[in-house]
Structure 1
């Protein structure tokens, strides 16, 4: 009797399992499947990404569905289109020997009419993203009033993406006596809330420790100045010639920018974010799965559902806002018992976040140094040697050998080796011979730009009434000023105005950028101010009446793409001017605010 047969699976599913080459169940499958098959219960299952959660709920669901009845009996909600399609494809593989069972995917970016027609033909199982599912319910294109099972997959991510109201609305159309199975990688309080609200005394199973990362992944962090973040990324890629990675950025704008820079610099890269059309996303993922793309630059949301084997590295170009999200990111590598590496590029001000993540994943980080140029040259040289050693001889070259030997007959074996290897070595040597040391002292724990006497405080005449919070204003300032994310700090948003800091070296750039600055016809002004006493210096800007203002939108869509390495780019990161004119004046917040009040009145 096979290990899967011992779980209680029927012959049709066992045959599909055999076809797929599964030999033994994962831990979450061993724990969840017998309970879900033998008991009519709700369940909360906590397990990391890549541990086989889809089969853990998919096998019992297929076995419990009545394929002779055409109405919808099972609903699976997932956060993204990619994950929705992935689950649908896996369920179809699991049920290929179960006659009459039909699984339909419902997601945005595809024809809602076509999806409706598929449901009308009979769909016992629907896999859906919350937004499209709610849309189809509102249009009365789907009936989930008779479902018996509801599965919330990647529940923590759905709630993190703001789908709580959609989930609540969707579940209001389902029977109260249905069984709800909640699968999640982490257990933040939002997941606990939804479990209490929609589930009846659920059975809870946990693989590993709650919120803990997989033991197959080693965690490293590299401390650099913010302006050197991109240069550090390139060096990490060059120091790992066989890299096959996902690079995570916080925003769509940064994702697109980093991917475009990598492509321009000759790396096989592409962007994956929410501004891409479904066709563009499909093309990018197809290229990534076939390894035509080595570095997939993605947002957290877009990366959900990436199920690609043998990802060697996850690189956190920017840390996520929530430490729990780190667990999801690093779970892209180290799958199916294989090892992986999670690399974090941080500024000094972010080093303290590493400790917070260590407490959550219950694993230590190793502080490593960004390799210098000569170390990269050495790595690339020996990588080429191994490539040559492992290359199978193509005997189609045999007819050309006499002519080749004639051309090279004057060289010794040693000279030929030197010439062959000089091609690759010279390219990297010329690029890195004058490279600087990118590493900074991580023990300081704070970025000098964010504190101390060299930080300048500014007033800007936009605030919460202009639909800003601290994060969106920081993104707007970073994009407008073309600064690194950590170059803008201490963003304090008030009702009709805000404050922010940059390093004093950027003060002239900030003031000159916002001199006569307009956006959507609205004059935006910035002046140096003072927060909590002390001197401030610089030029003041005239203040204009308030008008309607919206934050700058994200970068446009791109179909991504990649190409083979060619020439290397110039070393360096974000550039900004630090020269210019400046004055000085004394001011405090109270007088600034009072003057604004008097002008408005």
Structure 2
């Protein structure tokens, strides 16, 4: 089946396909479209982001629904507003010749009344985010009791964001005999569970292998000291003058911070995260699509649904918490048949994650060195020469040539070329001529990595803190809590170890006074949180446990003995699923902003 005509689509859809310029169906489309058109059963489709999944379920749904009916017949659930709007727009384009078709987007951050009005006008297909859809069902603003087709798009991401209960509740309001089509990039246990509980003997199609990365993307990693992560990012950008990239950070705070640093240093950058309004998100996405932003710094949730096909690089400034999330990140590049590069900046303590990712995506990473200063100068010089060579002459300059020639009449051709290119070359040369080597050997590692593996060194301080697992903390949540409280970088807090009712962590010695001063008479949610220097500076587990027991902290709360213990859900993370709930809130709040600032050094 090399053409869309071979897939069994009707003339209205084929005409729209011709208008859109589609010529050959992708692999997932070749496998899914005929199957969905010919049968009424359930389907599980595993395919990477950017492989044409929307068309794979969109065309069959459009062909099967009755556009002359005002009844809602199709429901498509997607994890984020951006993806919801993208699917809605694509469905309208696919169905442009289906007279009477009404596709309505239902998502948070916009008027629920307006959306309900659109649905009431007769929406044959609703595309929705789970949170807003559940809200509309509870208010009786939508009726999905007669739908015939339900699509769970990016199912793994919806579950990763904590939407399992919402999806379960939504599907409970749908007919049992509907067809359910589940599309996902990866197949973790949670997705398999959804397929088992809500689908009846589903057929399964797989493009590539399960969880495997697309073959259009190459994978590289760069090993540096954790403290040099930002400098490494700048060098990778400078070594790729035509970069058009998405830079991934773990948290909203880091995303904003990195974007602001890039803008201040003269790069065309912008931030995309959940603390930004829908209007701000629209501004940054429009700028990104127009190539006015070359480096879009984003969180994983905010980046879902970015429908830009020309991304050249994905840069993992920080690796994600969930290894499977890497598949989604790398899927931002290498789309629509193009090739792309996924880069990872790591410290030695994170190298083991690279090996884990390799096993999941079934692709090998290539270890590369961060370019040195002179290599970057050469790349920038040749990039400028290439642009000048390919520039079309604007003959409006002709009238000024006499004066220009007089100015350079005593200058030879070689001297003129050197002067011209020195304008750009000198700027990079002055910046990089004394730049240090950022690369780290895997055999020796960086200081942060050594202390992670060897139990700490004499240049760090070990602390005791009277919160632990019973307060809803694991090591990662506690590390984030300390980092935010102390306004530190992620790698400034290390060797975090949590027990039931207390924990331990390390910082550099020079941060000791800042840590102890901050946590003097410190209260969080009305409760005292105490931090003390641990007697065991290295942080051995056996000595840490003795330290907690000897001081009577096992099962006791320092500074709050007479107070009743707050429930675990009331302190810090609300529940053990706080990371998921925070991701959900990010998807339901406004996203994105890009700052405008006069760059200190011009980039292009």
TM over 0.5, shorter chain: yes
Question: Which residues of 2 match residues 557-576 of structure 1 at below 5 A?
Answer: 559-562=593-596, 566-567=600-601
Q: After TM superposition, list the pairs within 5 Å mapping 1:88-167 onto structure 2.
A: 88-167=88-167
Give the match for residue 587 of structure 1.
none
Distance, in Å, in 1 between the alignment partners of 2:46 and 2:330 is 16
> 1:503–1:328: structure 2 CA closer, same or farther, 3 Å change rule?
same
CA RMSD of aligned residues (A): 2.5
Partner of 1:479: 484
- Could you say which residue in structure 2 is the equivalent of 1:581? none
Q: 1:409-466 deviations in whole A, cap 9, x for unaligned?
A: 2221111111111111111111111211111112457811323341543111334565
Q: Which whole-Å CA distance do the structure 1 matches of 2:314 and 2:401 have between them?
A: 44
Q: Distance in 2 between matches of 1:225 and 1:514?
A: 29
Instruction: Please say which of residues 395-404 and 343-352 is displaced more in the overlay.
Output: 395-404
How many angstroms does 1:479 deviate by?
A: 2.6
SS in 2 for 1:532: helix
2:277 equivalent in structure 1: 277
2:495 to 474, 490, 495: 490
Taking the aligned partners of 1:4 and 1:237, their CA distance within structure 2 comes to 40
The 1:15/1:557 distance shift into structure 2, 3 A limit, reads closer
The alignment status of 1:387 with 2:378, answered yes or no, reads no
Alpha-carbon distance change, 397 to 315 in structure 1, aligned in 2, over 3 angstroms: same
Secondary structure of 2:126's match? strand
**Residue in 2 that maps onto 1:452:** 455
> 1:402 matched to which residue of 2?
402
Shift of 1:365: 0.4
The CA deviation at 1:189 is 0.6
Alignment correspondent of 2:577: none
SS across alignment from 2:543: coil
Confirm or deny that 1:545 pairs with 2:560: yes
Greater relative CO, 1 or 2 (CA 8 Å, sep 6+): 2
Q: Secondary structure at the match of 1:196?
A: helix
Instruction: Find the aligned partners of 1:12 and 1:63 in 2 and give their Cα distance.
Output: 9
- Shift, 1:287, TM fit: 0.4
1:85 corresponds to which residue?
85
Q: What is the distance in 2 between the residues matched to 1:263 and 1:481?
A: 25
Deviation at 1:330, TM superposition (A): 0.2
Corresponding position of 1:533: 543
**Matching residue of 1:294:** 294
**2:146 partner SS:** coil
Q: Is the 8 A contact 2:274 2:592 kept in 1?
A: no
* C-alpha separation in 2, matches of 1:564 and 1:269: 12
Matched, 1:502 2:507: yes
CA 453–326 in structure 1, closer or farther in 2 if over 3 Å, else same:
closer
CA contact (8 A) 1:354 1:365 kept: yes
* Residues 281 and 591 in structure 2, CA contact (< 8 A), matched pair in contact too: no
Structure 1 segments unaligned to the other structure (5+ residues): 570-601
Correspondence 1:141-220 to 2 at 5 A: 141-220=141-220
| Stretch deviating more after TM superposition (547-556 or 330-339) | 547-556
**Residues matched between the structures, number:** 565
How far, CA to CA, are the matches of 1:551 and 1:518 in structure 2?
12
Cα distance in 2 between the residues matched to 1:71 and 1:173: 15
481-490 vs 187-196, which deviates more? 481-490
Q: State how far apart, in whole Å, the 2-side matches of 1:518 and 1:250 are.
A: 27
Shift in Å at residue 342 of structure 1? Answer: 0.3
> How many angstroms apart in 1 are the aligned matches of 2:559 and 2:31?
65
Contact between 1:74 and 1:125, CA under 8 Å: does it hold in 2?
A: yes
Counterpart for residue 575 of structure 1: none
Map 1:244-283 → 2, pairs under 5 A: 244-283=244-283
Write the distance in 2 (CA, Å) between the matches of 1:558 and 1:82: 11
**8 Å contact kept, 1:373–1:432:** yes
SS in 2 for 1:533: helix
Q: Are 2:242 and 1:242 equivalent residues in the alignment?
A: yes
> Under a length normalisation based on structure 2, what TM-score does the superposition of the two structures give?
0.89
Alpha-carbon deviations, 1:55-104, whole Å to 9, x = none?
00000000001001101000000000000000000000000000011100
Q: In structure 1, how many angstroms separate the alpha carbons of the residues matched to 2:304 and 2:430?
A: 39
- In the alignment, the residues of structure 1 paired with residue 150 and residue 47 of structure 2 have an alpha-carbon distance, to the nearest angstrom, of 18
Shift of 1:504: 4.9
Which deviates more, 493-502 or 504-513?
504-513
Question: Does the Cα contact within 8 Å between 2:264 and 2:597 map onto a contact in 1?
Answer: no
Q: 1:2 to 1:337 in 2, by over 3 A?
A: closer
TM-score, normalisation: structure 1:
0.89
Aligned partner of residue 423 in structure 1, secondary structure? helix
Match of 1:276, SS state, is coil
CA distance in structure 2 between the partners assigned to 1:41 and 1:184 by the alignment: 18
Q: Deviations over 1:227-253 (max 9, x none)?
A: 111111011111111000000011111
1:263 deviates by 1.1
The answer to whether the 8 Å contact 1:247/1:296 transfers is: yes
Distance of aligned partners of 1:27 and 1:125 in 2 relative to their CA distance in 1, 3 Å threshold: same
- Aligned-residue offset at 1:170: 0.2
CA contact (8 A) 2:283 2:592 kept: no
